[in-house]
Amino acid sequence: MNSSEATVVVHSPRSRPADLCSRWSVDQVEALLQMPFNDLLFRAQQVHREHFDPNAVQRSTLLSIKTGGCSEDCGYCSQSARRDTGVDAEPLMQLEQVVESARAAKRRGASRFCMGAAWRGPKDRDLDAVVGMVREVKQLGLETCVTLGMLKDGQAERLKAAGLDYYNHNIDTAPEHYDKVITTHSLLDRLRTLEKVRAAGIKVCSGGIVGMGEGRRGRAAMIAELANMETPPESVPINSLVQIDGTPLAGAETVDGFDFVRTIAAARITMPTSYVRLSAGRSEMSDELQALCFLAGANSIFYGERLLTTDNPDADQDERLFDRLGLTGV
Ligand code: SAM
Ligand code: DTB
Ligand code: SF4
């Protein structure tokens, strides 16, 4: 099946009966992941070229505006207060510091600035401050993105009014695997927030993590869940788990690099018009592996030397990589 043969989903993610009205069944996505590597990459590259300039890569810079001390127990995360990871809780950053950081990101060439907070969700008082940040960053001429956890009614509308372009909220893993990784909230909670974001007219950024013991079937289920959303996310971050000492997932079996590339290719084929972001984990990847991810249809990266609490390749390194590959950063 290809995207032009796809059936249109009419159900919301909450009401959709599993696999009944789906564009992509888990079996179909798993079949993609099992294709001969060259066939899979060829198909992904064909789909990519139908919708995007194959040599352009979007660049988003991340800033942790509120680090550590989070109430949630996500098994991969350095910022959960329940774990001893060496990441201490810090207060919300001041507006001026955030704006300065956004200015620097713009000077380096980023087109989007993404602000992340280690919250289960924002209190209304927190949101007042973030609304001010979104407004000022937007005024710099950058696209804006925030990732603040679960939203209450009315909060997405306030963010939209401030000029928010994207809200990042990942489904993180396969539905069947979710409660092995996170117990303090459910996938349904996440989907409800995504519905609020959509209803407010904000673009959705949602993806997940590879390397949490999900297996090939789990990766297929995660991609199918994203691709079958009533409107698939405009931006799909695919993270490779950054193992953090002190978390339950430190020491998890690492995923073969080619399987990571296959996951990117499956995201590209099943969500042809979405930006697919080669997200966390690039510091542990060779230039050659990253090049395969671009060939598989990744067309966005996190840009700048820091993710939230861990390192990312610095801008100079990425510029050299882009030069070697003839890629243009946008
Ligand atoms: N607290 C908010 C939330 O959970 O949505 C926002 C920040 S949270 C750190 C954003 C996303 O970063 C997570 O959903 C997860 O996909 C990703 N992430 C966090 N730690 C990671 C790690 N160690 N390796 C890879 N991705 C990670
Ligand atoms: C996403 O999918 N990946 C980003 C962003 N959304 C917020 C976060 C990656 C975090 C990697 C580990 C860390 O730096 O703490
Ligand atoms: Fe908190 Fe987000 Fe980390 Fe989960 S992923 S512990 S919600 S900061």
Q: Which of 23, 43, 59, 77 is catalytic?
A: 77
State the distance from the centre of ligand 1 to the C-alpha of 51, rounded, in angstroms: 28
Residue 49 has a pLDDT of: 98
> Around Cβ 326, how many Cβ atoms within 10 Å?
7
d(CA 293, CA 27): 23
Instruction: Encode the chain (330 residues) as per-residue pLDDT tens digits.
Output: 444 333 333 334 444 444 456 899 999 999 999 999 999 999 999 999 999 999 999 999 999 999 999 999 999 999 999 999 999 999 999 999 999 999 999 999 999 999 999 999 999 999 999 999 999 999 999 999 999 999 999 999 999 999 999 999 999 999 999 999 999 999 999 999 999 999 999 999 999 999 999 999 999 999 999 999 999 999 999 999 999 999 999 999 999 999 999 999 999 999 999 999 999 999 999 999 999 999 999 999 999 999 999 999 999 999 999 999 999 999
**155 Cα to the center of ligand 2, angstroms:** 22
- pLDDT value of position 205: 98
* Whole-prediction pTM: 0.94
Give ligand 3 pocket residues (Cβ under 6 A).
70, 72, 74, 77, 79-80, 118, 120, 149
Which atom of ligand 2 approaches the CA of 79 most closely? 15
Q: Are 204 and 231 in contact (CB under 8 A)?
A: yes
3-state secondary structure of 202: coil
Catalytic (active site) residue 277 = yes
Query: How far apart are the CA of 176 and the centre of ligand 3, in A?
Result: 19
Predicted local distance difference test score (pLDDT) of residue 21 = 63
Does the beta carbon of 308 lie inside 6 Å of ligand 1?
A: yes
Residue 295, ligand 1, Cβ within 6 A = no
Residue 20 has what pLDDT? Answer: 53
Q: Do 220 and 34 form a contact (C-beta atoms < 8 A)?
A: no
Any catalytic annotation for residue 21?
A: no
In this structure, the residues whose C-beta lies within 6 A of any atom of ligand 2 are 62, 78, 116, 147, 168, 170, 207, 237, 239, 242, 279-280, 307-310
Q: Tell me, in angstroms, the distance from the centre of ligand 3 to residue 118's CA.
A: 6
Q: How many other CB atoms are found less than 10 A from the CB of residue 49?
A: 11
Burial (CB count <10 Å: 0-12, 13-18, 19+), residue 84 = exposed
| Predicted local distance difference test score (pLDDT) of residue 10 | 35
Cα 20 to ligand 2 centre (Å):
32
> Any idea which ligand is nearest the CA of 70?
3
Query: Active site includes 114?
Result: yes
pLDDT at 301: 98
Using CA atoms, how far apart are residues 114 and 70, in angstroms rounded to an integer?
19
In the reported structure, the alpha carbon of residue 77 is separated from the centroid of ligand 1 by a whole-number distance in angstroms of 6
The per-residue DSSP string of 248-279 comes to TTTTPPPPPHHHHHHHHHHHHHHSTTSEEEE-
Instruction: Look at residue 247 and give its three-state secondary structure.
Output: coil
Predicted local confidence at residue 22, as pLDDT = 81
Name residue 113's beta-bridge partners. Answer: 61, 144
CA nearest ligand 1 atom 3, residue: 149
Q: Given the CA of residue 310, which atom of ligand 2 is nearest to it?
A: 14
